[in-house]
Amino acid sequence: MIKLCLGTVQFGMKYGINNQSGQPSEEECFEMLDIALENGIKTIDTARAYGTAETIVGNYLEYRNCKHKVEIISKLCPNVIEANEKDVYSVIRKELEGSLKRLHISQLNGYLLHTPEYIYNEKIIQTLFRLKNEKLIQNIGVSIYDIKEGDEAIKKNLDYVQLPYSILDQRGMESGFIERAKKSGLTVFTRSAFLQGLFLMNLEKVPNYLEHAKPYLEFFESLTKQYNKSKIELLIHYVKDLKEIDYLVFGVDNKNQLIEDMAVFNSDMIREENLFKEIKKIYNQVDNSIILPSLWSNGKKVD
């Protein structure tokens, strides 16, 4: 059964095209983490690239004395390995130790490559397996953007894969990758269900560089009215109702968003087959310039 995984990029930096409240204070982050744990969320996703997120999560774990109650996934700092680096192990070991120190823990449940292209570097992969054998990591994986990187993760026998998946970005299912990943034993995490909040924006506030996304957003709004569903309901259940996905990674700007998202996630599945057929037909092949924030004019590639 799919579970929620709380993403923390908003804890460490102002993030998201529709973020109107900015970066929350540490006190507000603690409150959101309290609410998440009290409601059964036991997996937290963070990264070195997420500003101060690791430090805030670590302070929370230390202050609340709850390290035993949660599983923490973090990621190797992007582009940290030089092309001619000879001692890859030392570089990654130092980065990992830095994350463990900030998080006040001795072992990560998961450690992912935040630079997907590293999946092709044998020295990096061997280092991850070595660190896993040294008990500093329980599971190793990669955060991907393209399906080919996910297939490489299958070949390399990694444990975790994290990929974008949403109404606008159906590549994971349409390509058969998610099914292949599950058959190979990979644990599948999907992210970007809200696409940085783009789905939730008022159309008049969509920036000019995403003007070509408006027809998709307009049709999405029409579906919510036609089927009497909220935007959040459609976005979350489109992911949740797929049995092949293990974790839905989601981020929030404030506790009200968190409470709403959890309530929707725990609500009954949407059973209107025609609704999902329409979604699959209209959003089957959306241009990468829309679904990949790294290609937006001010996108931040920190997913």
Concatenate the DSSP letters of all residues of 274-301 into one string: HHHHHHHHHTSS--HHHH-GGGSTT---
pTM above 0.85, yes or no: yes
What is the predicted pLDDT for the residue at 15? Answer: 74
What is the predicted pLDDT for the residue at 82? Answer: 87
Using an 8 Å Cβ cutoff, are 246 and 3 in contact?
Answer: yes
Q: How far apart are the first and last CA of the chain?
A: 24
The pLDDT tens digits for 57-97 are 999 999 999 999 999 999 999 999 988 888 999 999 999 99
Beta carbons within 8 Å of 155's beta carbon, 6+ residues apart: none
Using an 8 Å Cβ cutoff, are 72 and 5 in contact?
Answer: no
Question: Does residue 243 register a pLDDT over 80?
Answer: yes
Q: Which of 266, 279, 296, 201 is nearest to 234 (CA)?
A: 279
Question: Does residue 298 register a pLDDT over 60?
Answer: no
The pLDDT tens digits for 122-153 are 999 999 999 999 999 999 999 999 999 999 99
43 bridge partner residues: 5, 71
| Dist CA 173 CA 43 (whole Å) | 24
The pLDDT tens digits for 155-190 are 999 999 999 999 999 999 999 999 999 999 999 999
| Dist CA 2 CA 5 (whole Å) | 10
